[in-house]
Structure 1
Amino acid sequence: MDILLTTYAGYLVLSCLATWWVGRTLRKHGPRLVESGEQEDRKVYVDAFTHLLIVGFYLINFGVISLALRYGNNVRDVQTAVELLSTKVGLVLLVLGVMHFIIIASLAKSRNTDKYDPPRRRAWGEEPTR
């Protein structure tokens, strides 16, 4: 088998496994971050919100994996194949890390918005309450 084809296969397997692992972790632990335990209806919201985040996560990461497959140097030997594989998997891991923190921030923000009432806009001429 051609060494470039082997490199591509390794890249796809490692990148897809990493994406699946991070998505599974978010699915497992994301609801705990959002749940407040106060309302029974909250569970439906939490599951739907987490599922939507994970779908977006998969779409973005599989898109990056597909686009990165095209870019890179020519593979001449095993050393350049390993270097190419390392660069491509490193790019995917960086994107996974960024996406992970964006999703965690999104989950944390959704949790915090329920705890505080938004400031109420005063009507014209209304005195501020203290």
Structure 2
Amino acid sequence: MDLTVVAYVIYLLVSVALTVWVARTLSRAGKVFLEDVLHGNEKLADAVNHLLVVGFYLVNLGFVALYLKNADRVGNARELFEALSVKLGVVLLVLGVLHLCNVYVLNKIRRRGVMDREQVPPVRPQGWTAPARPGA
């Protein structure tokens, strides 16, 4: 079997496995964060979490597929490892950047929610007080 094809197979297997593992990890850990961002609305947090995971899969697996082609022919074991290390390194960097973008956006939403909660008075107004007369 041609070593270039071996490189493709290994690249696809490792990239897809990494994508699935990262997506599941982010989904599990992110659920608590989303519930806080969405003020405890568990159903909405689950829906948003699922949508984020689907988007994550689409973007990352699309990138993995587009990045599959290798410009150089892989002729020996050393070239196989070099090609795989570059491709997998780029995939890991893309996964990291996507994760940081998600966290950044969710943190902005969370901050806005915290600011909204702080502007609500802690207790309802108890009554009305007439303004003081000047000079009294």
Same fold (TM over 0.5): yes
**Would the aligned equivalents of 2:11 and 2:84 in 1 still touch at CA under 8 Å?**
yes
| Greater CA drift, 31-40 or 60-69 | 31-40
Q: Over alpha carbons, which structure has the higher Rg?
A: 2
Q: Identity rate of aligned residues, in percent? A: 40
Distance 1:83-1:11 versus aligned 2 partners, 3 A rule: same
1:19 to 2:1 alignment = no
What is the deviation of 1:111? 2.1
1:86 to 2:85 alignment = yes
1:108 to 2:107 alignment = yes
**Would the aligned equivalents of 2:19 and 2:95 in 1 still touch at CA under 8 Å?**
yes
Distance, in Å, in 2 between the alignment partners of 1:75 and 1:60 is 27
- Structure 2: 5+ residue stretches without partners: 117-136
- The TM-score with structure 2 as length reference comes to 0.78
Distance, in Å, in 1 between the alignment partners of 2:94 and 2:39 is 35
Root-mean-square deviation (CA), in Å? Answer: 2.1
Distance, in Å, in 2 between the alignment partners of 1:91 and 1:37 is 31
Aligned to 2:35: 35
1:60 to 2:40 alignment = no
What is the deviation of 1:57? 0.8
What is the deviation of 1:88? 0.6
Distance, in Å, in 2 between the alignment partners of 1:95 and 1:18 is 12
Matched residue count: 117
Aligned to 1:121: none
What is the deviation of 1:116? 1.9
- The TM-score with structure 1 as length reference comes to 0.81
| Greater CA drift, 4-13 or 98-107 | 98-107
Deviations 1:76-100 (CA, angstroms, capped at 9, x unpaired): 1111111011111011000000011
